[in-house]
Amino acid sequence: MANVAEGAAQVQPQVVHSPEALRSALSGRGRVGLVPTMGYLHDGHATLMRRAREVCDVLVVSIFVNPLQFGPSEDLAAYPRDLKRDLGVVGEAGVDVVFMPSTETMYPPAFDTRVVVSGVSEGLDGASRPGHFVGVATVVLKLLNLVRPDVAFFGEKDWQQLAVLRQMVRDLNVPVEVVGLPTVRAPSGLALSSRNSYLTAEQQARAAVLSRALAAVRSAYAAGEREASKLRQTGLDVLSEDPEVTLDYLSVVGRDMQEREVVDNDPMTRVLVAARMFGVRLIDNMPLVSVRPEMDSA
């Protein structure tokens, strides 16, 4: 497998914009890994790339701000973009190919197909952001069809999204391994996100209240609490400490993304939170069982 040695010189990846150029860049290559992104890359993305670099011969990163997953009142136009910075990140991670399609390339005139994944997509962010997961599933399926990777890497911060994509891959027999990697956090505990750039340093420090709430729920579970309502209240008590928190949801869910009343020891059980702070919508989650699940890929 190809690897980037510690301290090795940065290698410029091949940047392609069309499906034809992408196919040419990947022709005859070995085991292909894909890290799909919307750009404005941070160390969470870089962690995915470094892991992919370890196990793949060829590493592709896509950079595409997908309009289908933004609602009419969401931040598509304001979504942060910094291509020069992004190319530096992918170069340091040893990425081979960067696929940067235009909106017209991904969604040409008369494009009228959508991918709907029922069940796991319907609550939580699916309820708060109607159409979001349709946009996510549609663009990811297109990227999988274009790149044809052997393995695709996603962060666990977007836990419901990961569940949606795993379901899509299983249901449609897409020949790819989907790997989820643990959330990368700032020293404060705040989950890394491109949208953190909307916040000042002081606001980011306060936003770490979300991860503290999740950690409190996990501690209560470790101490023996199994009633989901009481676990949830533990998290709500922490969130109430900061008046800037406008809660969307705090939920304890199983692998089917459904709310639990009583929590068992299933390692796929998670506590998820979504809230607005300082006008920015943030999400986070943590497993309740401390042991990493065996099923980190599907």
Known binding-site residue numbers for (R)-pantoate? 69, 161
For this structure, is 17 an active site residue?
no
Are residues 138 and 25 part of one domain?
yes
pLDDT in tens, 214-246: 999 999 999 999 999 999 999 999 999 999 999
Residue 282 in domain: yes
pLDDT in tens, 274-294: 999 999 999 999 999 875 543
Residues 33, 59 contacting (CB under 8 angstroms): yes
Tokens of 252: 């304890």
Instruction: Determine the Cα–Cα distance for residues 59 and 32; give it in Å rounded to an integer.
Output: 6
Domain finish residue from 181, 213, 229: 181
Crossing angle of helices 132-147 and 19-26, in 10° steps, is 50
* DSSP string for residues in 57-118: SEEEEEE---GGGS-TTS-TTTS---HHHHHHHHHHTT-SEEE---HHHHS-TT--------
Range of the domain at 72: 14-181
Are residues 171 and 30 part of one domain?
yes
Q: Which of 257, 282, 278 is nearest to 127 (CA)?
A: 257
Dihedral angle sign, alpha carbons of residues 210, 212, 215, 220 = negative
What's the number of domains the chain is made of? 2
* 0.85 exceeded by pTM: yes
pLDDT in tens, 28-49: 889 999 999 999 999 999 999 9
Known binding-site residue numbers for ATP? 38-45, 155-158, 184, 192-195
Residue 105 in domain: yes
Known binding-site residue numbers? 38-45, 69, 155-158, 161, 184, 192-195
Question: Among residues 4, 26, 35, 45, which one is catalytic?
Answer: 45
